[in-house]
Chain A
Amino acid sequence: MGTRKWLLYALLGLAGLVTVVPLLYMLSLSLQTEAETLSANAVLVPESPQWGNYAELFTRAPFGNFIVNSLIVAGVITLAHLLFDPLVGYVFAKFRFPLRNTLFVALLATLMVPFFVRMIPLYVLMANMGWLNTYQGLITPFLMDAFGIFLMRQFIQPIPDDLINAARIDGASELRIYRSVILPQTRPALAVLGLFTFVFQWNEFLWPLVATTTAEMRTIPVGLTLFNQEYFTLWHLTAAGSVILFVPTAVLFVCTQRYFVRGIALTGLK
């Protein structure tokens, strides 16, 4: 009993350290002086924390723009998912109509299409519409996805038809039924959907890299990476930017980790 338990704690403790130490080092790095980041004797705890690094980041790069852009892009996409995914999921869960199965298969087939396949034609499309380097260009390719719709359909399916029919007999309009009967029951699923969508869009890297051409339009992950390529020795500033990018998702996750764990376990969400 005793030794086995200690072995398990040792394994988990090791994994925990490997996870946490690099992240703590990122925080430490963000508070070091430039000299400390380069000194031959690696500095793990800065002598006096340089909070000014965070301010300097905003003068060296349009970091305020990055933050606003990230909030707008991830926020609008999340709202769109919360608006459309349950509606479409509801239709596939509860309505019979011509071509239903064909449309559903066509929808699920899009799950097999990785983003890199759409990357080049979307770039050409956006270039032709003049949407490169705009919010529309960053947002529209991700307004919905089959995954969210499928998740909502699975969640709505067990809601009894009688509930819907009763509302119909009472004379409720179809939109009213959706809003007042279906939507309130999907709240737990909507929470999972909203959290995942926001976090993944906040972190998205490839499309904002392809679809932006000026620093002012970049989101944080892309702005930070290109900043690092330009000023590759200013690691304290790169780390400060990383902390800014990291904190919102980390806080969101720690506060709502039950939803995340259940979401992953239930659906294998990616």
Chain B
Amino acid sequence: MRSRTLYGRYARTAYLFLLPAILFFAAFFYLPIGNVVATSFRTGPMADQWAGLGNYTQALADPAVRHSFLVTVGFSAMVVAGSIVIGLALALAIDQPLRGRVVFRVLLLVPYLTSVAIVGLLWRNILDPELGVLNRALGAIGLPEQQWLNTAPLLTIAAVTLWQSVGYTMVLFLAGLQGIPETYHEAARIDGADAWHRFWRITLPLLAPTTLFVSVMAVISGLQAFGQAYIITNGGPGDATDLSVFHIFNVAFRTRDFGYSSAQSVLLLMVIVAFTVVQLRAGRRGEVTY
């Protein structure tokens, strides 16, 4: 009897403490999620006419939507590959007993804590085909000018994204490396394994959970990139860098079609969830315990 009343009292306290959070997540997460789904079935300038699955069938057949989805997937693939390869290489280097490694670690993290507005504007100034400092400098010393924002725009904005984020993946890999027990490397060294084999047979397999986490995070952030397209390329040249969230933003706030843009954001959410689930499944199969 006594314990029941105590339980009741604690439950009351718990709910009292939780009340602001329950109201907040209901109003600013669950209500909007319900609304975006509801709006995705509607059409018209006020999004008040029932459209059924119309927006979805239209989106799946729309060449502009398909194109922007492919652009986004390509962009994400480049960001994931770069995050893993460059992030791991930097982490391996910085994991060595070198003087000044703390300074490098701090330095490489700075762009990650910098606004996409700074990163975007800075690199647009550097890379601009006419006004950019890179071309003015190359021209001044008689070297051929670069046109990367015209010839390889997607690769270029992926590289800028990596410039910003690779310090973050480096820190994640560094934590993973420091979690591998030294004894494994020692045992292999005694058995005569060289550094190359130790990396492929010990470091990389034992890093699998970190690599998985890095790739999941990179896919999630790559698929919802926005500022790069908005600030650096305005989706161009043509529609070469029309990233999905940028596309959705334009349909919603420039074309003012809330129904159609809502359907596209629900579709993109489903893609992100699917990617994440597949990656986690695949990762769990390859999991190592030690």
Binding site for B on A (CB under 8 A): 5, 8-9, 11-12, 15-16, 18-20, 22-23, 25-26, 29, 37-42, 44, 84, 87-88, 90-91, 95-98, 100, 103, 106-107, 110, 112-125, 140-141, 143-144, 149, 174, 178, 199, 202-203, 205-206, 209-210, 220-222, 224-225, 228, 233, 235, 238-239, 242, 245-246, 249-250, 253-254, 257, 260-261, 264-266, 268, 270
The answer to whether B106 touches A254 (Cβ under 8 A) is yes
Residue B70 CB within 8 A of the other chain: no
Q: Tell me, rounded to whole Å, the shortest Cβ–Cβ distance linking A36 to chain B.
A: 10
- Given A19-B163, A22-B123: A9 in contact with B245 (beta carbons within 8 A): no
Which chain A residues lie closer than 8 Å to B168 at the CB level? 264
- Given A42-B136, A221-B116: A205 in contact with B17 (beta carbons within 8 A): no
How distant is the Cα of A235 from the Cα of B220 in the complex, in angstroms?
Answer: 32
The answer to whether B221 touches A270 (Cβ under 8 A) is yes
The answer to whether A120 touches B252 (Cβ under 8 A) is yes
- Given A98-B11, A120-B39, A250-B110: A206 in contact with B115 (beta carbons within 8 A): no
The answer to whether B109 touches A253 (Cβ under 8 A) is yes
**Interface CB pairs A-B, < 8 A, 11:** A5-B96, A29-B133, A40-B140, A41-B140, A87-B17, A97-B14, A98-B11, A174-B17, A238-B121, A239-B122, A268-B213
Binding site for A on B (CB under 8 A): 7, 10-11, 13-15, 17-18, 20-22, 24-25, 28-33, 35-36, 39, 89-90, 93-94, 96, 98, 101, 104-111, 113-118, 120-123, 125-126, 131, 133, 136-137, 139-140, 163, 167-168, 171-172, 174-175, 213, 217, 220-221, 224, 226-227, 230-231, 245, 248-249, 252-253, 258, 261-262, 265-266, 268-269, 272-273, 276
The answer to whether B18 touches A91 (Cβ under 8 A) is yes
How distant is the Cα of A87 from the Cα of B98 in the complex, in angstroms?
Answer: 42
Q: Tell me, rounded to whole Å, the shortest Cβ–Cβ distance linking B22 to chain A.
A: 8
Q: Tell me, rounded to whole Å, the shortest Cβ–Cβ distance linking A220 to chain B.
A: 8
**CB within 8 A of A221: which of B11, B24, B115?**
B115
With CB as the reference atom, state the residue of chain A lying closest to B210: A268
With CB as the reference atom, state the residue of chain A lying closest to B276: A112
The answer to whether B172 touches A264 (Cβ under 8 A) is yes
**CB within 8 A of A245: which of B11, B117, B125, B272?**
B117
Which chain B residues lie closer than 8 Å to A117 at the CB level? 32-33, 36, 265-266, 269
- Given A96-B10, A125-B35, A206-B226: A18 in contact with B137 (beta carbons within 8 A): no
Which chain A residues lie closer than 8 Å to B122 at the CB level? 22-23, 25-26, 239, 242
The answer to whether A260 touches B268 (Cβ under 8 A) is no
**CB within 8 A of B117: which of A40, A107, A224?**
A224
- Given A91-B18, A96-B7, A174-B13: A12 in contact with B90 (beta carbons within 8 A): yes
How distant is the Cα of A267 from the Cα of B111 in the complex, in angstroms?
Answer: 20
Which chain A residues lie closer than 8 Å to B89 at the CB level? 11
The answer to whether B265 touches A225 (Cβ under 8 A) is no
How distant is the Cα of A44 from the Cα of B137 in the complex, in angstroms?
Answer: 9
- Given A114-B224, A116-B226, A205-B115: A19 in contact with B107 (beta carbons within 8 A): yes
How distant is the Cα of A125 from the Cα of B26 in the complex, in angstroms?
Answer: 13
The answer to whether A261 touches B105 (Cβ under 8 A) is yes
The answer to whether A116 touches B265 (Cβ under 8 A) is yes
- Given A40-B139, A118-B32: A12 in contact with B117 (beta carbons within 8 A): no
Which chain A residues lie closer than 8 Å to B224 at the CB level? 114-116
The answer to whether B116 touches A203 (Cβ under 8 A) is yes
- Given A96-B7, A120-B265: A16 in contact with B114 (beta carbons within 8 A): no
The answer to whether B121 touches A144 (Cβ under 8 A) is no
The answer to whether A242 touches B118 (Cβ under 8 A) is yes
How distant is the Cα of A31 from the Cα of B120 in the complex, in angstroms?
Answer: 19
Q: Tell me, rounded to whole Å, the shortest Cβ–Cβ distance linking A98 to chain B.
A: 6
**CB within 8 A of B94: which of A12, A97, A222, A235?**
A12
